[in-house]
Amino acid sequence: MAKHRIAWLPGDGIGMDVLNAAKIVLDALGFDAEYVPGDVGWELWCKEGNPLPDRTIEMLRKTDCCLFGAITSKPRDEAARELAPELRDKGFVYFSPIVRLRQLFNLHTNMRPCKAFKGNPLNLRDDIDIVVFRENTEGLYSGIEFHPVPADIMRLFAEHEPKARRFIDVPLQDIAVTVRLFTRNACRSIVTQAFEYAKKHNRPNVTVVEKPNVLRETGGLLVNEARKIARDYPGIELWETNIDAMCMWLVKNPQIYSVLCAGNMFGDIISDLSAQLVGGLGFASSANIGDDYALFEPTHGSAPKYVGMNKVNPMAALLSAKLMLEYLKEDEMAQVLENAVGRVIAEGKVRTYDMGGSASTTDVADEVARFCR
Ligand code: IPM
Ligand code: MG
């Protein structure tokens, strides 16, 4: 029997290409695993009206963790138009399977390293080494949304919050509401994860990215909990920065930042921004971690225009596999993999199109694998 059982969800578009690349490298490392394939993604939505079938969820429950490729996400109405004709108008509503997986398995911590590898021509600077900790299950992603807003909810808003009264005469079908819900537990958890990481890896500061001057309740809760938790970590500075200013500072002085910590939506934004500082989404790996399950995915999307071309940069998927190895306590393999990635980037002989080269996805995987044997 293999040592590890890995759920294998390539998903949409180039997901298969990049997961195959990861497999080439994992095999070269001698990673002892059984891979269990599962259905997820756009095709499932169109054919079955459910992008994340129950059979896939059941399968995941029987594995140690999941390697995930990429997913196509479209807004609700656009999704409804692509549904198989016999499924239309039957009440199927599209939701993002990756967001659902994070919530279903309570993968509360999304960790996204953004490190400038030496010699990457796409680095904004070569001294950037940022790790984003993004709360992964609530905030604006809680899924509590209304359009039109039910009359009793609007009435309650006005009753409890005078500022809601100026909307009371707006027709309900002309109001859309998305609830930004933060729990103290999730705030404490994401901040604690960020500080624990900083402590373990000797990082000097943690920056909490919020907007408490305007989002006083949600932003205020996160920042206040961060201040309390920071007291338990003398020697690690807590920096507080507003999301808008953070976008500016990350472009201006990215090298001074180390660990970033944010709620779900702001974490989504700063993780793309941070990724671009070190080569773009082709290098952006991520770990979605919960108390008893984890899912590893490149941060990029399904890149439909490159489907079947074996063309995209697999580095993000390879680095996600590295995060998976760490989660499974295969630390030595994780280190060998990261070193191999670093070496291939530095040598610069095998590069995909985004790095100015003409190598294929598999060429890059093979080259990384060569240094993993
Ligand atoms: C990400 C992506 C997802 C998100 C999308 C695909 C739903 O942007 O993982 O950052 O918003 O979380
Ligand atoms: Mg994103």
Q: What is the CA radius of gyration of the chain?
A: 21
* pLDDT (0 to 100) of residue 75: 87
This prediction has a pTM of: 0.97
CA of residue 167 to ligand 1 center, whole Å? 31
Q: Please report, in tens digits, the pLDDT of each residue of the chain (373 residues total).
A: 999 999 999 999 999 999 999 999 999 999 999 999 999 999 999 999 999 999 999 999 999 999 999 999 888 889 999 999 999 999 999 999 999 999 999 999 999 999 999 999 999 999 999 999 999 999 999 999 999 999 999 999 999 999 999 999 999 999 999 999 999 999 999 999 999 999 999 999 999 999 999 999 999 999 999 999 999 999 999 999 999 999 999 999 999 999 999 999 999 999 999 999 999 999 999 999 999 999 999 999 999 999 999 999 999 999 999 999 999 999 999 999 999 999 999 999 999 999 999 999 999 999 999 999 9
**Which residue has a Cα nearest atom 10 of ligand 1?**
268
Distance of CA 189 to the CA centre of its chain: 17
Domain for residue 310, yes or no? yes
Q: Which ligand is nearest to the CA of 298?
A: 1
> Collapsing DSSP states into helix, strand and coil, what is residue 108?
coil
What residues does ligand 1 touch, defined as CB less than 6 Å away?
71, 73, 96, 98-99, 268, 299
Backbone angles phi, psi at 138, to 5 degrees: -135, -135
CA separation for the pair 183, 324 (Å, rounded): 28
Sign of CA dihedral 211, 217, 218, 222: positive
Residue 7 corresponds to which tokens in the numbers above? 């759920």
CB within 8 Å of 368: residues ≥ 6 apart:
25, 28, 318, 337, 340, 341, 344
Please answer whether residues 61 and 23 qualify as being in contact, where contact means their C-beta atoms are separated by less than 8 angstroms: no
**352 inside domain:** yes
Instruction: Please list the helix, strand and coil fractions of the chain in percent, rounded to the nearest 5, in that order.
Output: 45, 20, 35
Phi, psi of 284 (to 5 degrees): -95, 110
In 3D, which of 369, 373, 347 has the Cα closest to residue 20? 369
pLDDT score of 74: 87
Residue 299 Cα to ligand 2 midpoint, Å, equals 7
Is 137 within a domain?
A: no
Q: Is residue 11 part of a domain?
A: yes
Q: Is residue 51 in some structural domain?
A: yes
How close is the Cα of 139 to the center of ligand 2, in Å? 14
Does residue 338 sit within a domain? yes
Please give the Cα distance from 308 to 97 (Å, whole number): 22
Does the residue 164 lie in any domain? no
pLDDT given at position 114: 98
Mutation test residue for ligand 1: of 99, 133, 178, 296, the one with most atoms within 8 Å of CB:
99
User: What are the CA-CA distances from residue 205 to residues 117, 136, 208 (Å)?
Assistant: 21, 21, 10
Instruction: Calculate how far, in angstroms, residue 233's C-alpha sits from the geometric centre of ligand 1.
Output: 31
CA of residue 25 to ligand 2 center, whole Å? 25
How far, in Å, from the CA of 268 to the mean position of ligand 1?
7
Output phi, psi for 287, to 5 deg: -120, 125
Report how far residue 202's alpha carbon sits from residue 209's, in angstroms, rounded to the nearest whole number. Answer: 20
Ligand number nearest CA of 287 is 1
Mutate to test the pocket of ligand 1, among 42, 140, 268 (most ligand atoms within 8 A of CB): 268
Cβ contact 299:131 at 8 Å? no
Among all ligands shown, which has an atom nearest to the Cα of 98? 1
Q: Which residue has the tokens 């598999």?
A: 362
Output the residue whose Cα is nearest ligand 1's atom 4: 268
Q: How many domains does the chain have?
A: 1
Closest ligand 1 atom to 73 CA:
6
- Asked, for residue 138, whether it belongs to a domain, the answer is no
Structural domain containing residue 54: 1-107+285-373
CATH number for 348: 3.40.718.10
At 76 the pLDDT is 86
